[in-house]
Amino acid sequence: MSLFGLELVPLNLPLEKRLQTLGVLHFTYLFLFFGLGTLFLFLYLLFFTSYYLIPLAYYVWYRYDRSISEQGGRRSNWVRRWRIFKWAAEYFPVELVKTCDLNPNKNYILACHPHGIMCQSHFVNFASEATGFSNKFPGIKSYLTALSSSFSYPLFREYFMLSGSIQASGASIDWVLTKEGTGNAVALIVGGAKEALDARPGNHRLKLKDRRGFCKRALLHGASLVPVYAFGENDLYSQAANPEGSKVRKFQNFLTCILGFSPPMFYGRGFFNYTFGLLPYQKPVYTVVGSALDVVKAEDPSQEQIDFLHNKYCQALIDLFETHKLKYGLRESDHLTFY
């Protein structure tokens, strides 16, 4: 059924499908609006109402508690198992593909690719139990890293930490790999915000050439490196043309430097239509967790050691991609490129 050029969602859609859409709506709008929404709410309470003590009390709490997002966070296994995350995973669906065991007596850095627009599959896989991470990798706790700014918004930071998420900072990663014992897996989205500007269907470009910090952290702590590739993550949204060197891309890069996060001009489908909106397209995502690369601890790793591990990792990622690409709908001519 169409109306004004929009393909409408059928009224008789099964309840199961409605719940799945609700699950992905929860994540998408949480990601886009909850942080800023709570910030504006607290500012309104502070300056325009008699409830100013609420934001003031929260500010005192935040100052006291602000370092916890760099000290392992405040994960809740109860929250991670909420049914709404399972609905979100079933919407696409997202599947977590295990290729080998992870030893719970070691620590790991899960280097996740690609970033996509909103890291939908990475959140579902590593910040919840929607795809069964703990069952597939018994004895391993996953910690999804996120921009430090994500932990500055009132209430949003509390909710985010309950999922097991932590700051994407050196100090935060160091804490998990040294203070939390063994059996920890830090899920790091290596390409970062700038890679989101290349997230579009059929694209396999990764910002990886100049990303070596994760290799240094692996060497410092002797943490094994695990390549992770989500086939289909870049297919979840369309994005306006912004080729390198264009005015649009230059403006986006400028805003990324100022804001700390990238502003891709994207669109997907809507809640009541399949044509246009902020929800991701309903396309499958297969997140393949590769074999761990054992890393020998180096208290003061040299640039040569870092570069060697980086080259070794890049080749392992290419091998993972080439091994599984045909199985998950790609063509023989599809290859990874790094920039």
Which pLDDT value is given to residue 254?
86
User: Across-strand partners of 238?
Assistant: 267
pLDDT of residue 258: 78
Q: Please check whether residue 110 is in contact with residue 289, taking contact to mean a CB–CB distance below 8 angstroms.
A: yes
pTM beyond cutoff 0.75: yes
Edge-first strand order for the sheet with 184-189 is 94-98, 285-289, 224-231, 108-113, 184-189, 141-146, 166-167
Residue with tokens 């006291």: 64
Token pair for residue 103? Answer: 């030893």
pLDDT at 339: 94
Looking at residue 253, its pLDDT comes to 86
In this structure, how many other beta carbons lie within 10 angstroms of the beta carbon of residue 248? 14
Question: How confident is the model at residue 38, as a pLDDT?
Answer: 96
pLDDT in tens, the chain (339 residues): 666 678 888 888 999 999 999 999 999 999 999 999 999 999 999 999 999 999 999 999 999 999 999 999 999 999 999 999 999 999 999 999 999 999 999 999 999 999 999 999 999 999 999 999 999 999 999 999 999 989 999 999 999 999 999 999 999 999 999 999 999 999 999 999 889 999 999 999 999 999 999 999 999 999 999 999 999 999 999 999 999 889 999 888 888 887 777 889 999 999 999 999 999 999 999 999 999 999 999 999 999 999 999 999 999 999 999 999 999 999 999 999 999
SS3 for 11?
Answer: coil
Question: What pLDDT is stored for residue 218 in this prediction?
Answer: 98
List helix spans (H) across the chain. Answer: 15-29, 35-48, 53-65, 77-80, 83-91, 120-126, 133-136, 156-162, 170-179, 192-195, 213-221, 247-259, 303-324
Q: For the domain made up of 7-239+281-338, give the CATH fold.
A: Glycerol-3-phosphate (1)-acyltransferase (3.40.1130)
Rounded CA-CA distance 60/133 in Å is 36
> Six-digit token pair at 185?
């897996």
- Rounded Cα distance between 291 and 306, Å, is 19
Q: What is the DSSP string of 154-205?
A: TTHHHHHHHTT-EESSHHHHHHHHHHS-SSEEEEEETTHHHHGGG--TT--E
Task: Name which of 87, 171, 89, 156 is nearest 126 in CA terms.
Answer: 89
Q: Are 310 and 212 in contact (CB under 8 A)?
A: yes
Position 4 scores a pLDDT of 66
**What distance in Å separates the CA atoms of residue 289 and residue 227, rounded to the nearest whole number?**
6
Do the Cβ atoms of 117 and 266 come closer than 8 Å?
yes
Domains in the chain: boundaries: 7-239+281-338
Q: Characterize the bridge pairing of strands 238-239 and 2-3.
A: unpaired
